[in-house]
Amino acid sequence: MRFIFLLLPALLFADEPESEVEAPAPAEVAEASPLPDPDEAAYPAIERFVQVLEQVRQRHPDVDRLAYERLVNHALEGMLSSLDPHSSFIHPEMAGMMKDQPDLIPHVPSLGITLGWRSDGPYLSNVLPGSAASALIAGSSLLEVDGNPVKDVDPSQLLSRLTRAPGESSTLLLKSPAEARPAEVTLVHRSVEDRAVTHSSILPDTTPKAGYIRLASFTDASPRELEAALDELEDDGMERLILDLRGNPGGSLPATVRILGLFLPPSTAVVTTQGRAGENGEPLTTPERQRRERNYPVAVLIDRMSASASELTAGALQDLERATIIGETSYGKGSVQNIIPMGGGTALRLTIATYHTPSGQTPHLTGIQPDVEIEMSDSLREKFNLSMRKDTLTPEEQETLTDWKDPVIEAALEATK
């Protein structure tokens, strides 16, 4: 153990690794708020850590679990997860996937589910129609994967556990908001078309003609998919738009800015970041060119599961008076993460700043407040989820939707008249 103490000065005061990804402005905050203790306090703290590490290696009977690499990596998991819900230590199997993608959406294409996080743990934020999981209810809490509890598992690790080849299976323990008790379901992974725009149509019997688009995620392909859907609806005579971001967990920031550029004038400032010292970074602006000008009324639907990029989109369109926001207060994820490569193929996903909409507000922790508030009860959410997979409903499920109208969409139709 003594050799570890000899290395402490080098470990504590070494230069930052050359491979570190340069953080976007305003990450350079060396003179920011003072730290709660001096550098010298690291010595007794790290000494205590090393003592615990060696006691574990000397005394624990399960020697197969006592490799330094394993023990230290799991200790680092705990350190990062103690900071905030979005910082995490990334193991090698996930680090490559998340390189340069700090807002990687926790999506499992082979099952057709997207994950989100609440105070009580992970949940299904979105379920893709026609996928292996199409019969599941979005909003259901995910309690176990293959018999192992997942409440305290960080996002990258949970995504890794759920990643399987087509033909393999995963057993999930889920608690639906509509059921009193958890239920176990086994799903077989399969290949499905992974699309961000899951629904696009002219709503029947609407005057002026109302288009409806459901955007399930913000991926690199989302702006292209959304623009194609808009073009088609506009060619069909759409005179107003309902953009549904309910259950959308967010994703790519560049995709968010490009999507905002579909509805706002070129070079409009839509997002800024604020670092630890309180300074603002350069604002992100919509693209300099716009292929089609869109001036028709827009309503954006959000709920308590709309997060990150969904909140930035809704917040920017609200601030700039380009859309009416309808639904529930959103999730409240308005922080910036940076991927920092570390040794051994690992990485850190570290929160470095907060996002702010054009008015200066941040959705971080508080969410975006809708202009028209409509609470999504468990019963309403269940019917909404059923309506998203109309083609795969059982006769009993179809009966529950007889004469049902989504009150959030009805409010959007009223707001865009």
Name, of 118-122, 123-127, 319-323, the range with top average pLDDT.
319-323
Q: Taking the mean position of all CA atoms in its chain, how far away is CA 69?
A: 29
Task: State pLDDT tens for residues 320-361.
Answer: 999 999 999 998 989 888 888 898 888 888 988 999 999 999
Domains, the chain: 107-188 (2.30.42.10), 197-335+354-415 (3.90.226.10)
Q: What is the C-alpha separation between 268 and 271, in angstroms, rounded?
A: 9
Residue 273 to residues 15, 122, 266: CA-CA distances in angstroms?
26, 27, 20
pLDDT of the residue at 16: 41
Label each residue of 130-168 as H, E or C. CCCCCCCCCCCEEEEECCEECCCCCHHHHHHHHCCCCCC
Model-level pTM greater than 0.95? no
192 contacts 112 by C-beta, under 8 angstroms: yes
Q: What is the mean pLDDT of residues 190-208?
A: 88
Helix (H) or strand (E) holding 312: helix 309-319
Q: What is the mean pLDDT of residues 78-92?
A: 84
Q: What integer best gives the mean pLDDT of the chain?
A: 86
Tokens of 81: 């997860």
Q: What is the mean pLDDT of residues 119-127?
A: 81
Q: What is the mean pLDDT of residues 224-253?
A: 95
pLDDT of the residue at 280: 80
pLDDT of the residue at 125: 80
Q: Please check the confidence at residue 151 and state whether its pLDDT lies above 90.
A: no
